[in-house]
Structure formats: structure tokens, C-alpha cells
A and B are shown apart, each in its own frame.
Chain A
Amino acid sequence: MSGLGQTPPEAGVADDEGFKALVMSHARSLHRLAYRMTRNEQDAEDVVQDALLKAYRGLDKFENRAELKTWLHRITTNCAYDLLRKRVRRAEDDLPETDSEADAVTSSLLSTTPGPDQTAHAGDIRRRVNESMERMSATERTAFVLRHYEGHTLEHIGQTLGISLAATKQCVFRAVRKVRQDLEPLVQAS
């Protein structure tokens, strides 16, 4: 992978072979991260596409002291985070307007709570994780994915999201509470 980081595409000597090698090496791990955050295959592909495009256009800004993987993951995180925030904004626009409508939505959500006889197999876990993630804010979800799946420290997550360490902790705490509410009955039953 020659020239990456030294040869920005804007200079007219874009290193396409290098870029292809970059995609071959990192696209799948970026997809995993994007999927964890978006919980949707199509959105994950879109996020990876956006992230790789930004990476391609921003190779000149890439600082060699940083790890390429870290840099790519940060771009992907930001793309997914932006998508989540837009999605939340759209969902807020679609919120029911009356109390009775809101009650109906709450009832339908509550009715999906698993009974004690349900077993915690993979499909159930995926469904419950999806539901927990849906109940998280964009920031909570991002913080949780980066901490739980990607193994980033809270300090690093705070830097990525541009929030304080204390705020990052609160995001993770709230996210874990939501996950526990949804998964603990399943795990105990199993």
C-alpha cells in the first residue's frame, strides 16, 4: 500500500491501488462497526461507503502518527453517529401527538416483553439487543458499541464523541441499564 497518507487524491496522483488495498484490509471491520451501530445491513453499507469516501478525500489530513485503522474507525463512527442522529430526529418528528396514541405505542412495546418460559437463543438475543439499541439515544448507542464491542476506553470514546469523561460514563451506564432491562429476563431464564 504505497503512498497512503503521503499522496492526497486532490494532488492528482491518487493512489487507487493503495486505496483498494486499504478497502480490502479494513472494509469488513468497518462494516461490523457500522452494523453494530445502525443495526441495519443497508445502512451499514451506506455508512461504510460514506466513510471510505471521506477517507479517500481526506488522506492528506491523515496523520501518520495515528494508526490507520483507528483513523478509519473514527470516520466510520462519525458517519454512523450522524446517521443515527438523523434517524432519531426523524423518529421524533413521527412521535404520536396524543396521550392515547402514546399509550398505544407503549402497550405495544410492553407486549413484546418476553415471558419467563422463553429461552435465550440467538434469535431472541438479537431481537432484544435490537430493541435495547432502539431505546438508546445516538450518543448512548455509540458509546456502548465503542466500549462493549470495540473495546475502546471511556476516555477515548469521550474524545471521539466530543463529550466529557463524566458524560461518557453516564451514556454507557444508561445504555447498560437498557440492555439489562431487555436481556436479563432472557439470560436468567436460560
Chain B
Amino acid sequence: MTPTRHLTDNQIVLLYYREPLEEGGFDGHLAGCEACLARFDRLSRVLRAVGQDEVPEPTGDFETRMTARVLAVAKAPAHGRLLRFPGRFQRAARVLAAGAALAACLLLAFSVGRRLGRVEEQTLTAAQTQERVLLTALGEHLGRSRVTLVELKNREVSEADLKALQVAANNLVTASRLFRAAAERAGEGQIADVMEETERLLVRFAAAPDTDASSELDGLRKRVDSRDLLFRLQVMEAQVEKREKNLAPTASRSSL
């Protein structure tokens, strides 16, 4: 006897996953209904095929790498460190350290600006001034990040340079975290996302042990390309610059 009611596609999915059906009255239906059983078989074949999709195994030292990276990041000081750089990286280090310090000031300025902006109309100009300062610093930081990535991507490095580059990368991460916090507070999700992605790449390289630093730098270079990071940083930089120019003294407050 052929049943008059059949299972819906969704009910067949629930049966496949051994989840309870929402509707009663279908106990033993599959066993007695050829049509529904055929549909169940078709779905099962597809989902079994999905299950055959294999996951590539990470390389042999995966656990060691993960442990080293996580412990390095977890134990890194939360704030910037005063570090000694070899000759040609000293200027970059000073710029990065200045950026970090400026970012800290901006975080404060931004917090104050938000409060001022909420209180009185007459403080609008002060808030706008702070916004302009923030935009300027943010644009400069994005530019610095891009230049640093270009440097990491293109420079021919010797073993001796690697350590210094790792330190420079670590410093950029420190500065970036401060700017990202400001961007997140200001609701600038896109900018924060790009910064976070840049940080993530830099952290991997910065935290790599000496034996892996070279291969991590290669990995960083590939990821910079595959994720269009340079282009995206450039776009963000241009957008910030444009907003900074458009910020007229009489204009209303923007989200930043």
C-alpha cells in the first residue's frame, strides 16, 4: 500500500541526521514508502560523498609551531618595548615607536572627543579637530603598515636581518593594536579588519623561532599577495585621506 502523505525534503534531512521530526505520524514511513526511501537514498549518497572530502593534514611540527606562537604572543608585554635595532632599522623603529605613542594619545583624545560630542553643541569644533588628528594619524599608520609590508615582501634578507625584521614586525603589531582599538571603538569595522589581518600575519613572523623565521617570512609574503593586503591597505589609506580632506569645520560629526 502506498502512503498518501510523503516526507518533505527537510524531513528527509532530519531523518538522515537522526534528528526528531517536527511532525508526528511518520514512524516507520520510510520502510513502507518506496518513493520516500528512494529520495532518502539519493540524499544519503550525496551527503556520504561530502563526507569523503578529505582535510589536508598540517605539517609534522604543527603542534610545536602552534605552541611556540601562542606562548610568544601570550607572554609578549601588552605595551611597546624599548628595543635596540641594528643600524638601518633604527629609523623604522623610531617611527614605529612614535606611532605607538601617538596612538595612545589618540585613544585618549578619541574617548574625550566622544564625551564632548555628546554633551554640547559648542564643543563640536573641538571634536572635529580631534577627529582630524585621528584621521591623520590613522592614515599615516596605514601608510607605515603598507610600507613595512612592502619592505618585508621585497627585501633580500640575510639571516642576520631576520631578527631585526622580526622586531620591527613586532613593534608594528604593538602600534597597530592601539589603532585598531580606536578604529573598533569608532565603529570602523573595515579598517579594523584590515589591521587585524595585517597583525595576524606579522605576529606569525614576529613570533617564529630562529629556525622557522625564514620560512615564516616566505609564508608572510605569500599571504600578503593572496589576501591583497597591500591593495586593501592602500584603499583604506586613500579613504581615510579623502575623509580627512572633506572634514570641513562646519560639517557635522562623522562616525570616526
- B47: chain A residues at CB < 8 Å are 148, 176, 179
Query: Do B62 and A179 touch (CB < 8 A)?
Result: no
Q: Check if A48 is an interface residue, CB within 8 A of chain B.
A: yes
Q: A24-B63, A31-B58, A176-B13 are in contact. Are A187 and B51 (CB under 8 A)?
A: no
Query: Do B49 and A187 touch (CB < 8 A)?
Result: yes
A11 to chain B, nearest CB (A): 13
CA A148 to CA B16, docked complex, whole Å: 10
Contact-residue bracket for chain B:
35 or more
CA A129 to CA B49, docked complex, whole Å: 9
CA A174 to CA B213, docked complex, whole Å: 44
Q: A90-B193, A125-B50, A173-B10 are in contact. Are A35 and B74 (CB under 8 A)?
A: no
Q: For residues 115 through 164 of chain A, which have their beta carbon under 8 Å from a beta carbon of chain B?
A: 120, 122, 125-126, 129, 147-149, 153-154
Q: Mark B141-168, 1 if CB is under 8 A from A, else 0.
A: 0000000000000000000000000000
Contact-residue bracket for chain A:
35 or more
Query: Do A125 and B52 touch (CB < 8 A)?
Result: yes
| B interface secondary structure, majority | helix
What are 29 A-B interface contacts by the 8 Å CB criterion? A16-B71, A19-B70, A23-B63, A23-B67, A27-B66, A28-B57, A28-B63, A32-B55, A35-B56, A41-B58, A49-B66, A49-B200, A56-B70, A56-B71, A56-B74, A125-B53, A129-B53, A147-B17, A148-B50, A148-B51, A169-B14, A172-B17, A173-B9, A179-B50, A180-B43, A180-B46, A183-B46, A183-B49, A184-B46
Question: B residues engaging A (CB < 8 A)?
Answer: 9-10, 13-14, 17, 19, 42-43, 45-47, 49-58, 62-63, 66-67, 69-71, 73-74, 189-190, 193, 200, 204, 219, 223, 226
